[in-house]
């Protein structure tokens, strides 16, 4: 019997409750989807070796017991090793290499112990526990027509008795009160999203006149210090005094390189630099990884995360990879003492794209 | 043998064979993996020997007067440090055309020969000289070296100094078990793709701190073993995907099959 209360087709000869054979229940097709799929029933049950032979069952029993036994041994090994093995002994272990002996023994014994409990339980379930297919029939979900009718009548009677339809003043007042009550919830939700980011994403710590400082020492850099082929990792002057040091550092990181001015192909790049010294934002325009892999012969800048490659001779044009926008250049100059300083803040937002920037 | 042969079709046989093979390969590799060589400080300073060695071994690519040819750059002004680094680490003479010269264990010259070669090249033009041993000994401030390494070196040479890929087949080599002198010389001369870190960028003391940190890393023992090359998320992720997920799928298949 299935849930519609019909007999599965082709099952008329079988006794109720017994499984169908696989070659039974076949229906001649007529080219369309049948109105109702018939229950094919269960495949015939195949008995396991352990069900048929006592010897096999005993062997399975021994195997399960052995797995649990291995687990017991491994647990004992763990307990002994916990106290016996020195914490600072290193040894060569094949396949793992030079490693801390205590770590390896504790980890592997605990692992074997737990694994063997699991293996034993599964082996037990698969070989010895009953594996006959059991079908549990479900009663129809639909309520009887009688109780459905009764429910509708109860609802209608309640609406009538509350006089909601007869007294519109109450109806509208209640509607207004409930409708307005939703507002405080919505207002709190919108209000708790926090302040708008304002210009934080588009601006950095860099201001005109700030010196370029070595990271992490924060010492100023003379233009003459930067020889051709050099790369300096740079932070703005005074960033350590910033209230949000790490956030500012994450946006303000700059890479300073010196190329032979003849190698620079873009006039704007040469103008914004100083005698072949150019400064570019170190934050990748793809997803914001630090682009620090500068190859001094090819003048390629590579981002280690997704292999975006920028050509420093062409104003950090993208020559490979998923980045979509060249790295922003920082306009630099030298002050009276010969130290490099920013000639203007970044003219565009550094780092990856965001909603307002597009 | 017969018992073994009769079980060769057992479902676990292939897994056991694979595991044995992997363990044998790993074990053999860790036993036979090449160890790095150490170069001693040069003593001889014979310009004539240096020039002879240069003409015999280097002039084909770098030109008779080291002026450079299509095959190799000019060596005027590279200094003794560049020669000591390139020849002392087995990068030069170049074994064959390649995208970049790699470190080699077969160093073609002895220390005296390298010193005379370096002395000869140093006469061609002013350049960085072989550093004083007080700045390459690696007894500096390890913590500061770590900071400097992370800012200036780690993006190419990896957080653990294991090296990493650059563009178009070039790579930053591993810094494990490299002598302090060679690391110092590399920073000062900027070999191949590497930028120059001159003394105003990283002072000799800074360089010594970095060397100290790298030597400390070499001494560092790995408590867990199996570093997978210390290459970060790529190799570790691949290991987890292949072995971790593979095991889970195998377990799921085993759980799902019927016993009979």
Shortest distance between the Cα of A356 and any Cα of chain B, in A, equals: 31
Q: Do B225 and A294 touch (CB under 8 A)?
A: no
Please choose, from the candidates B208, B147, B206, the residue with its C-alpha nearest in 3D space to the C-alpha of residue B180. Answer: B208
Residue that finishes a domain, picked among A127, A153, A188: A127
Nearest to B224 among A99, A257, A290 (CB): A99
Domain assignment of residue A264, yes or no: yes
Averaged pLDDT for residues A219-240: 92
Q: At what angle do helices B204-219 and B180-189 cross, to 10 degrees?
A: 140
What is the count of residue pairs from A and B with beta carbons less than 8 Å apart?
Answer: 113
| pLDDT, tens digit (0-9, with 9 covering 90-100), for B47-79 | 888 888 888 888 888 988 888 888 888 888 888
Q: Which of B151, B164, B219, B254 should one mutate to test binding to chain A, selecting the residue with the greatest count of A CBs within 10 A? A: B151
CB B73, CB B178: distance < 8 Å: no
Residue A125's closest CA among A42, A48, A46?
A48
B184: which residues sit within 8 A by CB, 6+ positions away?
Answer: B81, B131, B135, B136, B204, B207, B208, B211
Which CATH number do you get for residue A278? 2.102.10.10
Distance (Å, rounded) from C-alpha B198 to C-alpha B211?
15
Distance CA(A309)–CA(A320), nearest Å, equals 5
Where do we find the tokens 């240069």?
A: B54
Same domain, A321 and A216: yes
Set of chain A residues whose Cβ sits within 8 Å of the Cβ of B156: 292-293
B200, B244, B253, B254, best to mutate vs chain A, most A CBs in 10 Å: B200
Q: What is the average per-residue pLDDT within A142-164?
A: 92
* Rounded Cα–Cα distance for residues A304 and B234 (Å): 12
- Which of A250, A231, A228 has its CA nearest to residue A239? A250
CATH 1.10.760.10 fits B131-219, yes or no: yes
Using one digit for the tens of pLDDT, what is the confidence trace for B157-183? Answer: 988 888 888 888 899 999 988 999 999
Note whether residue A11 is domain-resident: no
Domain spans, chain B: 37-129, 131-219
3-state SS assignment for residue A276: coil
Distance CA A12, CA A18 (A): 12
Query: What is the dihedral angle through the alpha carbons of B108, B112, B113, B119, rounded to the nearest 10 degrees?
Result: 130
Strand partners, A318: A310
> Could you tell me the pLDDT band of residue A316, with boundaries at 50, 70 and 90?
very high
| DSSP helix/strand/coil, A93 | strand
B85 token code pair: 């680094």
pLDDT of residue A358: 60
Q: Which of A67, A92, A127 is the last residue of a domain?
A: A127
Query: Which of A78, A110, A127 is the last residue in one of the domains?
Result: A127
Per the omega criterion (within 30 degrees of 0), is the bond before B93 cis?
Answer: yes
Cis omega (within 30 of 0) for bond into A216: yes
Backbone φ and ψ of A257, nearest 5°: -130, 155
Angle at A154 between CA A148 and CA A160, to 5 degrees: 140
Flag if A292 and B155 touch (Cβ within 8 Å).
Answer: yes
Which of B192, B227, B254 is the closest to A297 by Cβ?
Answer: B192
CB contact under 8 A, B258 and A222: no
Q: Which of B23, B193, B227 sits opposite A295 (nearest CB)?
A: B193
* CB-CB under 8 Å, B198 with A225: yes
Residue A241 inside a domain? The answer is yes
Q: Considering the domain boundaries, does residue A71 fall inside one?
A: yes
The verdict on A116 and A227 lying in the same domain is: no
The answer to the question of residue A184 being in a domain is: no
Nearest CA of chain B to the CA of A101: how many Å? 8
Tens-digit pLDDT profile for residues A72-83: 999 999 999 999
Domain count, chain A: 2
Higher pLDDT, A216 or A121: A121
Domain B37-129, what fold?
Cytochrome Bc1 Complex; Chain D, domain 2 (1.10.760)
pLDDT at position B8: 73
Give pLDDT, residue B18.
85
Cβ–Cβ gap A229/B195 under 8 Å: yes
Determine what percent of chain B falls in helix, strand and coil, rounding each to the nearest 5: 50, 0, 45
Within a domain: residue A267?
Answer: yes
Task: Return phi, psi of residue A295, to 5°.
Answer: -100, 115
A23 within a domain of the structure (yes/no): no
Confidence of residue B98 (pLDDT cuts 50, 70, 90): confident
**CA neighbor of A91 nearest in space, from A106, A104, A109:** A104
Inter-chain CB proximity A216 and B22 less than 8 Å: no
Q: Which domain holds residue A69?
A: 49-127
For residue A292, the chain B residues in CB contact (below 8 A) are 155-156
Phi-psi region of B63 (alpha: psi -120 to 50; beta: other; left: phi over 0): left
């Amino acid at each position: 019997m299935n849930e519609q209360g019909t007999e599965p087709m082709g099952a008329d000869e079988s006794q109720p409750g017994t499984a169908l054979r696989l070659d039974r229940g076949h229906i001649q097709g007529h080219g369309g989807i049948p109105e109702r799929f018939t229950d094919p029933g269960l495949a015939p049950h195949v008995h396991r070796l352990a069900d048929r032979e006592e010897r096999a069952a005993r062997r399975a029993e021994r195997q399960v017991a052995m797995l649990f036994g291995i687990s017991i041994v491994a647990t004992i090994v763990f307990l002994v090793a916990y106290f016996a093995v020195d914490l600072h002994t290193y040894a060569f272990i094949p396949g793992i290499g030079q490693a801390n002996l205590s770590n390896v023994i504790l980890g592997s014994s605990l692992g074997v112990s737990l694994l063997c409990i699991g293996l034993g339980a599964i082996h037990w379930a698969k070989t010895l526990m009953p594996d006959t297919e059991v079908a549990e029939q479900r009663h129809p979900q639909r309520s009887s027509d009688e109780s459905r009718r009764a429910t509708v009548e109860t609802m209608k009677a309640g609406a009538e008795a509350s006089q909601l339809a007869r007294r519109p003043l109450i109806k509208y007042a209640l509607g207004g009160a409930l409708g307005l009550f939703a507002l405080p919830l919505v207002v709190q939700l919108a209000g708790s999203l926090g302040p708008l980011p304002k210009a934080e994403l588009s601006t950095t710590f860099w201001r005109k006149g700030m010196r370029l400082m070595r990271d992490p020492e924060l010492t100023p850099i003379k233009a003459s210090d930067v020889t051709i082929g050099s790369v300096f990792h740079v932070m703005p002057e005074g960033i350590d005094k910033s209230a949000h040091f790490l956030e500012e550092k994450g946006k303000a990181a700059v890479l300073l390189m010196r190329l032979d001015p003849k190698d620079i192909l873009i006039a704007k790049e040469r103008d914004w630099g100083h005698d072949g010294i150019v400064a570019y934002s170190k934050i990748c325009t793809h997803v914001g990884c630090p682009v620090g892999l500068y190859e001094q012969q090819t003048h390629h800048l590579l981002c280690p995360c997704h292999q975006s490659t920028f050509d420093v001779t062409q104003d950090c044009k993208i020559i490979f990879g998923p980045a979509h926008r060249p790295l922003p250049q920082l306009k630099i100059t030298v002050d009276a003492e010969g130290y490099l300083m920013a000639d203007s803040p970044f003219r565009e937002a550094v780092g990856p794209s965001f909603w307002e920037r597009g | 043998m017969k018992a073994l042969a009769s079980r060769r079709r057992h479902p676990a046989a292939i897994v056991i064979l694979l595991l044995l093979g992997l363990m044998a390969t790993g074990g053999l590799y860790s036993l036979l993996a090449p160890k790095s060589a150490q170069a001693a400080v040069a003593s001889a300073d014979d310009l004539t020997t240096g020039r002879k060695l240069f003409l015999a071994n280097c002039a084909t690519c770098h030109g008779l007067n080291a002026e450079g040819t299509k095959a190799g750059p000019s060596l005027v002004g590279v200094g003794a440090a560049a020669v000591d680094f390139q020849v002392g680490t087995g990068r030069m003479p170049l074994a064959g055309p390649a995208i970049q010269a790699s470190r080699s264990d077969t160093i073609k010259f002895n220390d005296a020969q390298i010193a005379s070669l370096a002395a000869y090249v140093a006469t061609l033009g002013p350049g960085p000289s072989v550093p004083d041993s007080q700045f390459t000994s690696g007894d500096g401030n390890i913590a500061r070296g770590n900071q400097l390494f992370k800012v200036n070196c780690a993006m190419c040479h990896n957080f653990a100094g294991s090296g990493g890929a650059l563009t178009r087949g070039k790579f930053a080599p591993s810094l494990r078990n490299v002598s302090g002198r060679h690391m110092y010389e590399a920073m000062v001369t900027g070999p191949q793709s590497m930028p120059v870190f001159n003394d105003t960028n990283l002072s000799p003391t800074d360089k010594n701190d970095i060397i100290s940190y790298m030597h400390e890393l070499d001494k560092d023992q790995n408590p867990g073993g199996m570093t997978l090359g210390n290459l970060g998320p790529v190799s570790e992720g691949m290991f987890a995907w292949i072995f971790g997920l593979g095991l889970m799928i195998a377990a799921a298949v085993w759980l799902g099959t019927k016993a009979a």
